[in-house]
Amino acid sequence: MRWLLFAGRVALLCNVCFVMAMIIRYTKDFIHNQTISSYIITLGYSAFLINLFLNLFIVIALFRKTKTFVPAWLAVINLVFFIVQIIVFFI
């Protein structure tokens, strides 16, 4: 289950890109390089799917009572970002 720790870290980086993508979306584009801006937007919007699968696997691991190697703070932050993403995309 070490891959879950790696996926949690990747999800955290994608969540940071999600915040930056929302800043780009609702304000003037502060990144003048179009390539970097498109990477940030792509990673930011893919964070929803990554968080969905990550939180699903963490819940499954908790029900099976297996060790996940994911720190609690990382799981909670990813869960909070996932809830915010649900609110932004669906409400």
> Taking the model in full, what pTM does it have?
0.90
Provide the 3-class DSSP secondary structure of residue 13.
Answer: helix
For the chain, the C-alpha Rg in angstroms (whole number) is 14
Summarize pLDDT for 16-67 with one digit per residue, the tens: 999 999 999 888 878 888 999 999 999 999 999 999 999 999 999 999 988 8
Tokens in use for 82?
């996932």
pLDDT above 90 (res 68): no
E-assigned strands of the chain?
none
Half-sphere exposure for 46 (CA within 13 Å, toward CB) = 11
Q: Which residues are within 8 A (CB) of 82 and not within 5 positions of it... i.e. 6 or more apart?
A: 48, 51, 52, 55
Residue that wins the pLDDT comparison between 30 and 12? 12
Alpha-carbon distance values, 58 to 16, 20, 46, 83 (Å): 20, 26, 18, 15
Query: How many domains, the chain?
Result: 1
Give the domain extent around 26. 2-90
Question: Given this model, what pLDDT does residue 83 score?
Answer: 96
